[in-house]
Amino acid sequence: MVFEKSLNDLIKGIRSHRDDEDSYVNSCLLECRKEVSSQDAEIKAEAALKLAYLEMFGNDVSWASFQIIEVMASSQLSQKQRGYLAAVQSFKPTTDVLMLTTNLIKKDIMSSKVPEITIAINGLSHISTYGLARDLYQDVLILLNHSVPYVRKRTIMVLYRLCLQYPDAIPICVPKLRERLDDTDISVVNASVSVICELARRTPKNYLEFAPDFFHLLTNSSNNWMLIKLVKLFASLTPYEPRLVKKLVPALTQIIETTHAMSLLYECINTIVSGNMLAGYSHSDRLAWLCATKLREFFLDSDQNLKYVALLSFNKLANTHQELVAQQLDIILQCLVDSDTSLRMRALDLVCQIVNAGNIVSIVKTIMLQLVASSEDVLNEDSRTITAHKLVEMTSKSNYAVISDFEWLLSVYVDLSRIPGIHVGKILSFQIVDICVRVKALRPFAIDLFSQIITDPSMIFMEGKYKESSCEVLPSLLWCLGEYAEYIEEYIDVLDGLVRPTSISLPNNVQAILIQSIPKIFCQWCVNEEAAWNTEKLGLVKLWVTRIQQFMESLAHSLDMESQIRAVEYSIMFAQIQEVLNTDDYSEILRFQKGPPYIIKSTVFNLFFTEPFNPVATKAQKRVLPPEGLDLDTPINGTIEVPKKLMDMIDESIHVESASARDTIGLSANSSPNILRTKESIAVRDLNSPFYLNSSPFKEEENTAEDDTNGINEVTENDSLFSGSRIMKVTKKSRRRKVLASPIQGPVEVAQDEIPEGVHLSDEDQLERSKIQQEKPLISLDPTSSAVNDNDYGRETNSNPTIAPIKVQKKEKKKKKNQNLGTKGQKKKSSNKT
């Protein structure tokens, strides 16, 4: 019998039957089923080869397993080779006839013909199971002494597979593998090192005794592949034997200085940096400099993978030698603007580690330029948002320890909030409030900047594509304007910008803060005008009281509950002020012409500005111990006495209502289930109540803007953007004028978090606070020491006029200004604070 089709005919037939390939393959399987049962060994071997090919198409050929074993047992090398190939392709660990191959493979292994040995070893490495490995590993070990190096090498490789299948063979195989480390053939040694390294990855401690042999190979071998394996192996051994570091560092240093292979160079540097070898080495600074110098060469190559691994190594090196890595800032900044997203992310992680007061400006400038340049890239929106978050994180590091110019930082935050396509409004809102609360000398500049934003409608109400990516920091700006209204120069312009009719279209959370800020600004304006008070001022105040009261009434119908409640409350308050100002009492009218009404300058003013607003430590609440004798577990009402008449009604309803309804009645408040349900309901109520503090850590992303006194005002993604095409830049010159005009000069103290009285910090908290104070002394806002130069990043955004920084316009000082140190209202406010 002659086979109908050869393998070549089968492949050509499948290609020619593309329309009915399935039917053609099925017909070929039927032919192979007949051929594989033939008594002719050549026909059977060819059929096994065709079945191996058809199995690659997903056809099940397990029915021919026994016939394939018959082909494997053939005495002819070509037929045996086809049989082993079919077995490798079709046999699985669950193949029932697999046990029949044990003696067959053992016979081939012991053959005197090298091709038969290698065919059997290769097949065993693919089809080995627990049983085959257990029965054959000792026979395979004999081949380690074979005279042919190729056989020894293949034997070492198959031993790794057998050790994985049968772990009990490892104690017997590893000593034999150690002997092969001294083999005369380099390929055998390389195979031994590879197998031992792979086994040592699982249990490195068991291979410490191999260290002398490995070190000899490390210092004498010239095979880069073997050296990489050895370096990786030593990296896993050094944690268990620290004394190896002293011996390894000179050898690794020599390899770093002499090798030209980038892969080997990286592995040596990575082993030194990751293995903490720089900490215990006497010449660690020189070695770290050598590693940094060699890593810098990676960036000269066009291969992006080399740049990526270099950034990873720099990240690890920065843990011990931050200043040394900071010297490579120029190449790191190039990676920040690279088109490869993965490179940008790794470079971003690195600059967050090496940022300091000297390089913060250049880093932020590069990041801002990259964000502006990629503002139209919708696909990388997530990575751009991560970049913006990292920028805020590095600038606020350790309570702004790296910041020397807070005016520049505030301008960066405002410009960052106006870049479309990034979602950092919530964290920026928190940061703006935080720096205004902590840095008192910044408040005049901040209020001047926020005043211009509020008075320019194009910066709040945007049209087109920027409307969807509206700025989310508007609540924080409004809160700062109300809280620090004494620094406002043009109150009328600010109030006019707040009560404009278009403000009704602002989001609900913005309206809530807006409603709270307007009365603060109005009261501060009236108190500041007391020195220059006259009849004209009185008339102007009456007009503004009426206008604000009408504005509050328009917001009283808001669908948001918080905005509605606040609008109604302040509408009633301004209605009462209006009633007081429109009195018919002649003596009261004369008093009003001499100064602001008492209800404004005292009653309402003290309602908002009695005490200063200071930052509170996040751990302050849990440090407050509950008072002695406080029992939150005992029910307040004790046992509830149910009237007898009501008890009779309940007993009658038991037969009608279900058991679940009876449980909800709760006859006794002392019963365990009722107490448990009561506790759960109270916990749920306290969790959602703004008057209770949650014991869980604060998560700013889950909190919403509630009150103007909490200092954390967050908004949603639908808030209005206050950026426009007509936006000017904050220059160093205008910033210097503002600072010089400010009454606060000299060093500026960043306020630290407050701790309640009688509460002591733990040792960990004391250490953390002392560390921050050591890192962050008084920060100067002296314009001469400003870290910002005239070449600000805003100058480079002229090509994109919609993303230009905001400039604070200098307003004319009032001609008639009180020469005293403060008005009566300011004196009263300072006395109240005292």
DSSP-assigned states of every residue in 216-259:
HHHHH---HHHHHHHHHHHHHHTTT-TTHHHHHHHHHHHHHHH-
**What was the pLDDT predicted at 676?**
54
126 torsion bin: left (phi>0), alpha (psi -120 to 50), beta (else): alpha
38 C-beta neighbours (distance < 10 Å), count: 17
Sign of the C-alpha dihedral computed for residues 260, 261, 265 and 268 taken in this order: negative
Per the CB < 8 A criterion, the answer to whether 438 and 779 are in contact is no
The dihedral through the CA atoms of 122, 127, 133, 136 has a sign that is: negative
Percent of the chain predicted with pLDDT > 70: 75
The 8-class DSSP code of residue 747 comes to E
Q: Which residues pair with 780 in a beta bridge?
A: 747
pLDDT at 625 over 70: yes
Give the three-state DSSP class for 749: coil
Cα-based torsion angle of the residue sequence 796, 802, 803, 805 in order, rounded to the nearest 10 degrees: 90
Q: What is the predicted pLDDT for the residue at 446?
A: 94
User: Which 3 state secondary structure label does DSSP give 743?
Assistant: coil
pLDDT at 137 over 60: yes
Per-residue pLDDT, 66: 92
Largest Cα–Cα separation, the chain: 132
Residue 172 has pLDDT above 90, yes or no: yes
CA dist., res. 730 & res. 788, Å (int): 11
Q: Which two tokens stand for residue 676?
A: 């448990």
pLDDT value of position 683: 58
Report the C-alpha gap between 60 and 791 in whole angstroms: 72
What is the per-residue pLDDT across 188-213, written as a single tens digit (0 to 9) for each? 999 999 999 999 988 899 899 989 99
Question: In terms of pLDDT, which residue wins out, 5 or 241?
Answer: 241
Most confident of 200-204, 467-471, 628-632: 200-204
Q: Give the residue, 177 or 747, on which the prediction is more confident.
A: 177
pLDDT tens per residue across span 574-606: 998 888 888 888 788 888 888 888 888 888 888
710: burial class by Cβ within 10 Å (0-12, 13-18, 19+)? Answer: middle
Q: What is the pLDDT of residues 470-510, one digit of tens each?
A: 568 889 999 999 999 999 999 999 999 899 888 888 888 88
State the pLDDT confidence band at 280, using cuts at 50, 70 and 90.
Answer: low
Q: 504 or 352: whose pLDDT is higher?
A: 352
pLDDT tier at 386, thresholds 50, 70, 90:
very high
Are the CB atoms for 3 and 45 separated by under 8 Å?
no
* pTM assigned to the model: 0.68
- Rounded CA-CA distance 631/627 in Å is 10
Closest CA to 475 of 415, 515, 421: 515
Alpha-carbon gap, residue 776 to 47, rounded angstroms: 81
Domain edges within the chain: 283-404, 405-611+711-735+801-810, 620-626+633-688
